[in-house]
Structure 1
Amino acid sequence: MEKVCVHFAEGFEEIEAITIVDILRRAEIDVKMVSITKSKIVTGAHKIKITTDLLFEEVNYDEVSMIILPGGMPGSKNLKEHVGLNEKIKEFYKKGKKLGAICAAPMVYGGLGILKGEKATSYPGFEVYLDGATIVNEEVVTSNKIITSQGPGTAIKFALKIVSDLKGEKLANSIKEGMIVK
């Protein structure tokens, strides 16, 4: 079974983070909400508090098949500044494991140099942080093992693309239909 970790930093974008977790759980993917703070309770950009499943230090990343970063500000900046998470992202990239980021969060991957030669998208205005990427103005972009997306309004499509990649297009379409996503 695929195991996915969605990382929460203070100031995360609530719609993106919860939409991703919700849809992946509908697909029966083992998804864990991971706090990169010292507390399992993390406050989003719009002051919504979420209780995560684990602290960063509690995760066994050898068992994880994908790292996902929701956007938001200052959430994306806080993700970018977390040394341990950045080391895990670089390790995942070197091993060819899947990575996902939405909104401003692709800037984390850009700052680590892992978007060089890849296609990527982000929240408008954050493209300047996608160092070396070929910028694509699409809602969801897949390039090798990296999936990026533009923002809160594209969160459902982003999450469905992750489901499609991990468990197949048939299941993703079934969830899409059940949620009345056009």
Structure 2
Amino acid sequence: MQDLNGKSIAILATNGFEQSELEVPLNTLREAGAKVHVVSLEGGAIKGWDKDDWGNSVPVDKVLSSTSANDYDALVLPGGQINPDLLRVETDALDFIKAFWEQKKVVAAICHAPWLLVETGIVKGRKVTSYPSVKTDVINAGGLWEDSKVVTDQGLITSRNPDDLDAFCEKIAEEINEGRHERRAA
């Protein structure tokens, strides 16, 4: 894993995030030296979903309404079926995601989280992957869906499922260390 000392990363999630898809990036990126904050709609803690039942709670570091993309180098969006479905109807969450993209910062989404990229319009004209059940949504939104473990397109990182978390985290570190990404129009 590349060194991330001095870098700040937000993980946007709410109740129902897939346990490993939040906890593995959180721990891996912190171990690489990054300051990582779990950002959510409300303070306290959010409860994960662990494969087929409720999992552990994770403390919320920052409340979305008092957080800015300006404070971070990258954004990580964990999946799970529940988490991105709840977030994609929250205007503040969508605006937060779009702000990272507009500032040419790294945006990384795994599993079902590309639903959030669909909702924000970020997938249009971009190479992405996702959990297979999200494929049609990505294609209908103009995304160029690939059946790959991890796909990167000018600072946009997507990953298929929790089996690919190591490669996903490695790519996040690589893209952050490359700096802001100039993006050609999609």
Q: Sort the TM-score into its range (normalised by shorter chain).
A: 0.7 to 0.9
RMSD over aligned CA atoms reads: 1.4
Question: Equivalent residue for 1:80?
Answer: 88
Q: CA deviation at 1:42?
A: 0.4
Are the counterparts in 2 of residues 45 and 73 from structure 1 also a CA contact under 8 Å?
Answer: no
Q: CA deviation at 1:166?
A: 2.1
Q: Pick from 10, 18, 21: which aligns with 1:5?
A: 10
| Identical residues among aligned pairs (%) | 28
Matched, 1:44 2:54: no
Are the counterparts in 2 of residues 34 and 56 from structure 1 also a CA contact under 8 Å?
Answer: yes
Question: Equivalent residue for 1:139?
Answer: 149
Please give the alpha-carbon distance, in whole angstroms, between the structure 1 residues aligned to 2:113 and 2:170: 18
Stretches of structure 2 that go unaligned for 5 or more consecutive residues are 1-5, 179-186
Are the counterparts in 2 of residues 70 and 101 from structure 1 also a CA contact under 8 Å?
Answer: yes
Please give the alpha-carbon distance, in whole angstroms, between the structure 2 residues aligned to 1:154 and 1:19: 11
Question: Equivalent residue for 2:68?
Answer: 60
Question: Equivalent residue for 2:35?
Answer: 30
- Residue type at the aligned position of 2:176: L
Please give the alpha-carbon distance, in whole angstroms, between the structure 1 residues aligned to 2:162 and 2:38: 18
Q: Structure 1 residues 91 and 166 mapped into 2: Cα distance closer, same or farther (>3 Å)? A: closer
Stretches of structure 1 that go unaligned for 5 or more consecutive residues are 169-182
Please give the alpha-carbon distance, in whole angstroms, between the structure 2 residues aligned to 1:150 and 1:20: 14
Are the counterparts in 2 of residues 40 and 54 from structure 1 also a CA contact under 8 Å?
Answer: no
Stretches of 4+ aligned residues off by more than 6 angstroms? none
Q: TM-score, normalised by structure 1?
A: 0.86
Please give the alpha-carbon distance, in whole angstroms, between the structure 1 residues aligned to 2:68 and 2:120: 22
Q: CA deviation at 1:63?
A: 1.6
Q: CA deviation at 1:167?
A: 3.6
Q: CA deviation at 1:39?
A: 3.0
Q: TM-score, normalised by structure 2?
A: 0.84
Give 3-state SS (helix, strand or coil) of 2:176's partner.
helix
Equivalent pairs, count: 167
Please give the alpha-carbon distance, in whole angstroms, between the structure 1 residues aligned to 2:171 and 2:59: 25
Please give the alpha-carbon distance, in whole angstroms, between the structure 2 residues aligned to 1:111 and 1:61: 18
Question: Equivalent residue for 1:89?
Answer: 97
- Residue type at the aligned position of 2:155: K
Q: Pick from 142, 145, 161: which aligns with 2:171?
A: 161
